[in-house]
Chains A and B, each alone.
Chain A
Amino acid sequence: MTAIGTPFGAMSIRQLQAGLAAKEFSATEVAAASIERIERDDARMHAFLELTADMAADAAAKVDAALAAGSLADAGPLAGVPVGFKDNMNLLNTHTTCASNMLANYLSPYTATCVAYTLHAGALPLGKLNMDEFAFGSSTETSAFGPTLNPWDFERVPGGSSGGSAAAVAAGLVPVALGSDTGGSIRQPASFCGIVGVKPTYGVVSRYGVVAFGSSLDQVGPFARTVEDAALALNAISGFDEHDCTSQAADVDFTANLAEGVRGMRIGVVPAFMEAEGLTDEVRDRVAEAAQKLADLGAELVEIELPNAKAAMSAYYVLGPCEAFSNLARFDSVRYGYCDPGHADLGAQYEASRAKGFGPEARRRIMLGSYLLSAGVYDTYYYPAQQVRTLITQDYERAFQKVDCILTPVSPRTAFKFGEIGDPTQMYLSDMFTISINIAGNGGMSVPVGLGANTNLPVGVQLISPAFKDVNMFRAAAALESVYGPAPVAPQFAGTH
């Protein structure tokens, strides 16, 4: 708690580090108070699955020691910043459950690269965050340990699959959390919770140590309430990792052009998206308004087409399950994970362990992927889906010859109520505007642009960058933030001390 009464988790990185540098408070106090606040304020919301108070205290002690010995900067760019990690990220000696009964007791014997980089940057690890089981979902309802509630309205979902990460940041429990995004799992919950969520270009952040869902689609990224905080976090976690063949050196400072403004920037808008079936009026209005604001700031709006985006949904629901089926085969009760007791032969143990360890959505996707890859079926779905990937990638390449960044909705609607969407295929529509970016591999982020006129719930817009030009979307995002202000802490958490 600070003199001005703002909880540490509700501060920006700049505010926190200024306070630390001025010795207004110590990192140890930040860690302890943050843990205490989560224990108190997260009880109902259920963003965190596990708290790592000791690790946070150890990290804080190092930051305090660095500060005492010299300067805060020596402790790293995220020195003293409380963070949380989606529970599909390995952190040595913590549980990594993927919100699944399969891994309820799994202890990580190693640390994911993105987590290691965050800690190396001086951040204070507070704990692990709830998610849809194995990241299969858009609502965090499929968590085997119970859903996370949307901090804006406890009757609603926080989005998913990184719902815990989004809720924790939106509630001001942490300034930064990491999530992963396979089809919209960072951007959609960021939008539902009214914060910034970044899915960088595939390869910007190492996937090593992040439990895989769709290996060619997964990408790790930060949640934050300000664009600058998101950029600082991405600076810390990005870069080539020798443990991930698909990671690439970015050598970019994502904060570099935040102050540049958008004058002269060409922003693409997609008329077909704005007329998409299922897009609610309140979201459409907010997105249109955001585009106009960018134009007012001097950006040039250019209408573009992404003709093959309509096939993205079906391509995604081919590629994702195929890769997931294979990635989830390792959960077999032999080396780790749930092992159903009392079986005399391995086949029976396999079948019972996987039946009970996986939830319904995981089972569906494993079954679907296995079917889609089977002999004869492969050529009907999987191979064409990879061809469609080429077309979608070419769409973006063509569009980015004309524009520097594209602006679209994130989700067709604001946060829905628990149980409101039961049909899996309807749930899949949550990702209609986000998945083509995972398929093509370029960067996308969600930026809050106020509340929907009908639901009074947060709406986000999506900014899309060319591959490895993620700085473009950060530049436009900072401009939007200059208009809409940084993301507020969700109202019912804003007053809690």
Chain B
Amino acid sequence: MTQHLTESDVRGIAEYVRIGMTEDEVAQMTVDLNAIIDSLSPITEYDLEGVEPTFHPIGVLVNVMCEDLERDSFTQEVALMNAPKQQDGCFLIPSVLGDGGDR
């Protein structure tokens, strides 16, 4: 089996997708992902020269848009009905470290 990912790579991905993992979980995940990625090899062996990708399996459907018309919004109460924590009509979260990236 090819080692596509090291445990360190897996740790980096886990950090990006924000899933906490123990060292044991990282080890197991590394084994699982390498096995799965191995099974994807047919994709890398295809001759795809000049083949256009199909990102949308919707035939000739294009330019789907709606008119600029206002619709009902949620009340504040409904918007917050599943909020784990709330305050002053807002979703309440612990302090954020870092910024929002390039925006």
Interface set of A (CB-CB < 8 Å, partner B): 105-107, 109, 202-203, 216-217, 242, 245-246, 248, 310-311, 313-315, 317-318, 325, 329, 332-337, 339, 343-352, 354-355, 358, 363-364, 366-368, 370-371, 374, 380-381, 383-391, 393, 423-425, 428, 439-441, 467-468
Alpha-carbon distance between A87 and B79 when the two chains are bound, in angstroms:
21
Which residues of B, 54-103, contact A by the 8 Å Cβ criterion?
54-59, 61, 64, 66, 74, 78-79, 81-85, 91, 93-98
Q: Are B93 and A346 within 8 A (Cβ)?
A: yes
Which residue on A lies nearest to B57, using beta carbons? Answer: A441
Q: Are A425 and B55 within 8 A (Cβ)?
A: no
Size class of the B contact interface (CB-based, 8 Å): 35 or more
Greatest chain A CB density within 10 A among B35, B40, B51, B84 is at B40
Q: Are A109 and B13 within 8 A (Cβ)?
A: no
**CB of B29 closer than 8 Å to a CB of A:** yes
Name B53's contact: one of A345, A349, A380, A390 (CB within 8 Å). A390
A393 — which chain B residues lie within 8 A by C-beta?
A: 54, 57
Interface set of B (CB-CB < 8 Å, partner A): 5, 9-10, 13-14, 16-21, 29, 32-33, 35-37, 39-44, 46, 48, 51-59, 61, 64, 66, 74, 78-79, 81-85, 91, 93-98
Q: Are A370 and B55 within 8 A (Cβ)?
A: no
Distance in Å: Cβ of B58 to nearest Cβ of chain A: 5
29 pairs, A vs B, C-beta closer than 8 Å: A109-B74, A109-B78, A203-B58, A248-B61, A310-B42, A314-B40, A314-B42, A317-B39, A334-B93, A337-B82, A337-B84, A346-B95, A346-B97, A347-B18, A363-B19, A364-B36, A367-B14, A368-B37, A370-B16, A371-B37, A386-B55, A387-B51, A387-B52, A387-B53, A389-B53, A389-B54, A390-B52, A391-B51, A440-B57
A to B contact number (C-beta, < 8 Å)? 169
B41 — which chain A residues lie within 8 A by C-beta?
A: 314
Alpha-carbon distance between A384 and B95 when the two chains are bound, in angstroms:
41
Name B33's contact: one of A345, A346, A364, A380 (CB within 8 Å). A364
A-side interface mostly: helix
